[in-house]
Amino acid sequence: MDAELSALPESDPLGLFAGWFAEARAAEPNDPDAMALATATPGGAPSVRMVLLKQFDAAGFTFYTNAHSRKGDEIAANPQAALLFHWKSLRRQVRIEGELSEIAPSQADAYFRTRSFVSQVGSAASDQSRPLDHRATYLARVEALADACKHSGEVPRPPYWTGFTLAPSAIEFWLDREGRLHDRRRFTRTAGGGWTSTLLYP
């Protein structure tokens, strides 16, 4: 049976991810860069939400958010996190674990400027994750900020709107197989910066 053979190479998980991500961008109908981000409080209470991967390189996986949000508070208190990509059309998953670190302000500035004016306004006007009395309150703040910035066409990046990079310490690839005889390989970062890997039972 084809399912008896592993299609997952034993080395270079970052290269394997790059290949799978390129295929997902060509095949997934919606948001191939969407990933579940799991964070936790110092006491271990977890929370998870979807965010978008905005950069991927040897340093890790970068996304942007409001640092005053629930996830921002949890990251500040406990930088250990996990990511999950699920590409349904390809029947593949990638799980990534590691530590988060905040990017440089200049990098956050550069990315913020690439966003549309409406997205800039929406982010700057939001007290993300905080209680909101009425949606009209938020929309009024959006309108007021848009009016204040419409002449320049650019919204100043709030200092709390920033990015985080997850440096992977472990990456696991999951490939769907017929009869649920799935293919799984887990890579673990070594002290020297390389990788070891092993297949896992499905």
- pLDDT tens-digit series, residues 90-113: 999 999 999 999 999 999 999 999
- pLDDT tens-digit series, residues 141-170: 999 999 999 888 889 999 999 999 999 999
Q: Which of 17-21, 40-44, 149-153 is the least confident region?
A: 149-153
Question: pLDDT category, 1, cuts 50, 70, 90?
Answer: very low
What pLDDT, on a 0 to 100 scale, did the predictor assign at position 163?
98
Question: pLDDT category, 33, cuts 50, 70, 90?
Answer: very high
71 pLDDT higher than 50? yes
Question: What is the CATH number that goes with domain 2-104+161-200?
Answer: 2.30.110.10
**Residues forming beta bridges with residue 48, ordered by sequence position:** 38
By residue count, the chain amounts to 202
Residue 137 CA to residue 6 CA, distance in Å, equals 54
pTM (2 decimals)? 0.91
Average predicted confidence (pLDDT) for the chain:
93
- pLDDT tens-digit series, residues 54-69: 999 999 999 999 999 9
Helices 117-124 and 135-149 cross at an angle (nearest 10°) of: 120
Q: Where are the domains of the chain?
A: 2-104+161-200
Q: What are phi and psi of 90, to 5 degrees?
A: -95, -10
